[in-house]
Structure 1
């Protein structure tokens, strides 16, 4: 079989990201049966402990694809209707006419009009740093805070709407996925973490993936360095953190190998049915947290700028937490895959208008993605 993975080019591209300023990163690229794994840099800047490609990592909103898959399984069973109003299930959480107008599908594809509860979108919600109003100190203040998801949902529901239910472009909001978590618990009678573990994680045969209950990442992992746009200098480690501020919408711990395995099985119709996958891939325009308009499906979206190949578009998701980030892409035919994890976040400093300035890491990551997905 012809080797379509250029290991030397992949190694060099990974090293270039490290040299551009990333403390450490690791990745896995697959092309059919061929697999490349690589790592560059350090997991601990103080000790020089190196990163390795098998490390566990907080993958942020990649979790949303897992949660969406769990919801679609319940759609298949008839317990949830994709186009049923959320008020039919959770009338107290989204009351009145609004609850009757917002459907499960609108929560999944971020067209509900419900606001983000995090203060990055609404400065009056000061649980976390806001560029104009608070500061990075609140990251330390809430390192071990246990948030109540119903209270967080209440913040998002009470905040001014960001659009009409079903209107486009939608606006990306964690409030939507916390509601989906509550919906799962309502219809299954079990904790969403347990349901997702049993029916998505274990169904896909993922051995190093979990929704941790506590603030620690179990097993070998990197420290996670948050720069908060240069306001934390040097960047500070937030690898120990209570993730109840996002719950099963962004709290997953996984490995690059497990992430690739999951998306490969998902796109092969082995986690949800082919009919459900077709629903998942119906996209609408959504404004991301970075302010870009992207096409977004049901917890899954085509990768911007990835283009198409003979196997079709690339599908996947990205995710960030305090100090950590990950990105996963899988070609529609399931053959070519990439998962990358990084241990620094918000490395861009801001200009006078508050916009992130270009950084060499951005270009180096873009080159890595091109080498990984196109060779």
Structure 2
């Protein structure tokens, strides 16, 4: 079968990402039944060990699509109502009028108005949104901190609202997805991560995708280098980390191959029903952590590219690692890439991230792949 992408061009583009400053990058491109996987750079800057196609990465907020799909499976079964107030399920977590006004749908779509908890959980870190005030050592100080979802949710719920329930634009908040984890546990009687593993990961046949059972990544993996806007020089490895601070919002470990397979199945209607998938693809504007407007549905982002139209997927970032997965609207073309460096942009005097050659290099990979 003839493909519409050039493997040599793609490999050159990956090398350009590495040359621009990313230690290592892995990408898998699928054009119907044709699969190409490329790598560039190193998994460990001390040993120069290369990244390999099978390496596992923490994929951050791509976890949200898995959590959303688990909720939608229960919606399909009639166990959860998308437009039921969260206070009906979790009255102690979101009490009173807010619990009556915020629906399950609003949580999944980030239109609940609930504040992000991270500035409060990492009080010494001030991770979001005051990144300019972050001290480099504060990330390391919390490397092994064990957080509890109930405490984190309370921080987000008690913080000033970012908007009215159901209002637009929504504001991206991990508080929403920790509540969805509580909802899964309340309805199913088992931990959210176990339910997502059984109903989504195992059902999809994803052999290299899992929630962490400890602070380390099992299996072949790259080290995860965090620059924190140039405050770590050189960038520091944070691949060993307690991910309880994000849980079912952003703690998943996976590979580029597994992620392409998952999104292909999801968009084919093989993970949730066609009716549920239609709900996932109803989008509204949401303000991201970076202050950008994204087109967000129920755990799915819609990205429109100039030369290739609409794509569905998600982006993710944790300390030292990031991933992007995009699938064309007709489910024939896919790209998933993972990198082992994050927050490479320096900040200007007002605390805004400045352009970096890595940004353009990654855009070139996306354009050529899709």
TM-score band, normalised by the shorter chain? over 0.9
Q: For the Cα contact (< 8 Å) 2:111–2:286, is it kept in 1?
A: yes
Say which of 300, 314, 317 aligns to 2:314. 317
How far the C-alpha of 1:123 sits from its partner, in A, is 9.7
Give the structure 1 partner of residue 369 of structure 2.
Answer: 372
Give the match's secondary structure for 2:43: coil
Q: For the Cα contact (< 8 Å) 1:57–1:222, is it kept in 2?
A: yes
In the TM superposition, 1:99-248 aligns within 5 A as 99-119=99-119, 125-126=123-124, 129=127, 130-248=130-248
Give the structure 2 partner of residue 306 of structure 1.
Answer: 305
Q: For the Cα contact (< 8 Å) 2:126–2:133, is it kept in 1?
A: no
Distance verdict in 2 for CA 1:102–1:47, change over 3 Å: same
In the TM superposition, 1:13-28 aligns within 5 A as 13-28=13-28
Distance in 1 between the 2:361 and 2:133 partners? 32
Distance verdict in 2 for CA 1:308–1:282, change over 3 Å: farther
Give the structure 1 partner of residue 327 of structure 2.
Answer: 330
Distance verdict in 2 for CA 1:274–1:308, change over 3 Å: farther
Give the match's secondary structure for 1:42: strand
Give the structure 2 partner of residue 347 of structure 1.
Answer: 344
Distance in 2 between the 1:227 and 1:127 partners? 15
How far the C-alpha of 1:308 sits from its partner, in A, is 6.8
Give the match's secondary structure for 2:272: coil
How far the C-alpha of 1:206 sits from its partner, in A, is 0.5
Distance in 2 between the 1:136 and 1:281 partners? 38
Distance in 1 between the 2:126 and 2:272 partners? 35
Which consecutive unaligned segments of at least 5 residues does structure 2 have? none
Distance in 1 between the 2:318 and 2:122 partners? 21
Give the structure 2 partner of residue 361 of structure 1.
Answer: 358
Distance in 1 between the 2:18 and 2:134 partners? 31
Distance in 1 between the 2:277 and 2:124 partners? 37
Give the match's secondary structure for 2:131: coil
Distance in 2 between the 1:101 and 1:125 partners? 29
Distance in 2 between the 1:48 and 1:153 partners? 41
Aligned positions, number: 368
Give the structure 1 partner of residue 29 of structure 2.
Answer: 29
TM normalised by structure 1 equals 0.96
Q: For the Cα contact (< 8 Å) 2:121–2:152, is it kept in 1?
A: no
Distance in 2 between the 1:51 and 1:363 partners? 21
How far the C-alpha of 1:4 sits from its partner, in A, is 2.5
Give the match's secondary structure for 2:30: strand
Give the match's secondary structure for 1:43: strand
Distance in 2 between the 1:181 and 1:151 partners? 13
Distance in 2 between the 1:110 and 1:371 partners? 31
Moved over 4 A (4+): none
Give the structure 2 partner of residue 43 of structure 1.
Answer: 43
Give the structure 2 partner of residue 257 of structure 1.
Answer: 257
Give the match's secondary structure for 1:63: helix
